[in-house]
Amino acid sequence: MRRVKVDEAVPGQRVARALYYPNGTAMLASGAALTPAAIQRLAQAGYRDLYVFEEGAEDVDGRDLVIEAARAPMARKLAAFFKSVRDTIGRAAAIGSADEATTVSEKLAHPDVRKAVKSLRFVEAMSGPELDAFFDGIALEKDAPMVTGMPRTEASHHVDHALNVAARSVMVARRLGWLPRECRELCVGGILHDVGYHVLPEEAVKAAPGQQLHPAAGYHLLRSDTGLSLLCAHCAYQHHERFDGRGFPRRLVGMQTLSARDSTGPGSMHRYASVIAVADIFDLLTSGFPDGWAMRDDEALQLMRNESGKALHPDGLKAFLALTPPFPVGLEVEVLDGEWAGCTGIVASVAATAMDRPAIKVLRSGGAPLPKAVDIDFSKTETSFRPRGSERR
């Protein structure tokens, strides 16, 4: 499989990962051959890239963050649920784009709004077979490294972001040794961490005031009448706080460790929020939404490393780095020296013991296919490489 831009996709190439409409129904199944009409449909839907099977390297196939059969039903359920939150609470609360946080909390406390919150049945939305399968479908540590996040569109971003942040948070929590019950609670908190955006008016969502308001909006929405634990509400409230106390809205400070024994005191961030903050920033940097500019995974991880002990909790970040390959399967790379200098290929696999030195399948020389693919394991050579296109940055 290889990640390609939609405008570089060629009819006849076979799709390696299913692509969806915003409501979660399938547009193109995995294995489908691309046609000119299908490529046009993808572009119209707002897809910028997709995974295709690579000729000569059909066996290259990375592990997904969440197995697709478990992710798709949860994505459909969540798309419908977020829509009902927007329709029901957005109207009942009548929050305006110029509202202050105190006004938002007052509006969300109104009895009519609380009645509307109850009617949404949060517990039903955040349980059931879809959530069970999603939670069980999150990659285990032994299965990481995995392919990078699935391609998405602007319309599906809120669902994809919610599910990716939840899944990556759970992977980190498992590595930190948290209890399954805690991981499950964190999963729900991760799915709902940005739910505050759905009660804000459309025009406020992309503007700075909306970004400032969404943690408090999420908290005041979730803190009662939902049947969810108060910690889920705090995941929404605290995910933009920083380890060094310079985040928002309350400038909380990260705990010394992320262990359960280190209990939260006043003025400190809950450990769930510290983990979600790490997963959140990675997904925002690499997804290309909402700003339209995506970093490569290696660039995002480098930036995050520089935030250790500043924006990000060092322990949460360390666990995240151990689980996330900078050069994921399917990435196109160029060999820089040695026998195959100048040739290009794709990342074929990554060993957990050598996260930044993947194995590569060399497929082309000067743009022309090699007679036979050549395997280079960079964990066993000194040869250097770089992601294709990185010289242009």
Binding interface with Fe ion (CB under 5 A): 194, 280
Closest distance of CB 308 from Fe ion, Å? 20
Residue 146 or 278 having the CB closest to Fe ion: 278
Residue 130 or 194 having the CB closest to Fe ion: 194
Residue 194 or 241 having the CB closest to Fe ion: 194
Say how many C-beta atoms besides its own lie within 10 A of residue 208's C-beta. Answer: 8
Closest distance of CB 151 from Fe ion, Å? 18
Give CA separation, 246 vs 79, 240, 241, 249, 282, in Å: 33, 9, 7, 9, 19
Residue 160 or 194 having the CB closest to Fe ion: 194
Q: Tokens 């992309």, residue?
A: 206
Closest distance of CB 156 from Fe ion, Å? 14
Residue 238 or 349 having the CB closest to Fe ion: 238
Name beta bridge partners: 376: 360
Residue 194 or 298 having the CB closest to Fe ion: 194
Closest distance of CB 237 from Fe ion, Å? 10
Closest distance of CB 210 from Fe ion, Å? 10
Contact 95, 201 (CB under 8 A): yes
Closest distance of CB 339 from Fe ion, Å? 45
Name beta bridge partners: 15: 52
Closest distance of CB 115 from Fe ion, Å? 27
- Beta strand 26-28 with 385-387: parallel, antiparallel or unpaired? unpaired
Contact 350, 358 (CB under 8 A): yes
In order, the DSSP letters of 179-246 are -HHHHHHHHHHHHTTTGGGGGS-HHHHSSHHHHHHHHHHHHHHHSSSS-S-HHHHHHHHHTT--TTS-
341 by DSSP, 3-state: which?
A: coil
Residue 49 or 280 having the CB closest to Fe ion: 280
Closest distance of CB 161 from Fe ion, Å? 6
Closest distance of CB 284 from Fe ion, Å? 6
Return the amino acid letter for 228.
Answer: L
Instruction: For residue 361, give the H/E element and its range.
Output: strand 359-365
CA contacts within 13 A on the Cβ side of 312:
24
Q: What are the residues whose beta carbons fall under 8 Å from the beta carbon of 221, sequence distance 6 or more?
A: 85, 89, 108, 117, 195, 196, 199, 233, 236
Q: Which of 340, 327, 344 is nearest to 388 (CA)?
A: 344
Residue 280 or 334 having the CB closest to Fe ion: 280
Residue 280 or 315 having the CB closest to Fe ion: 280
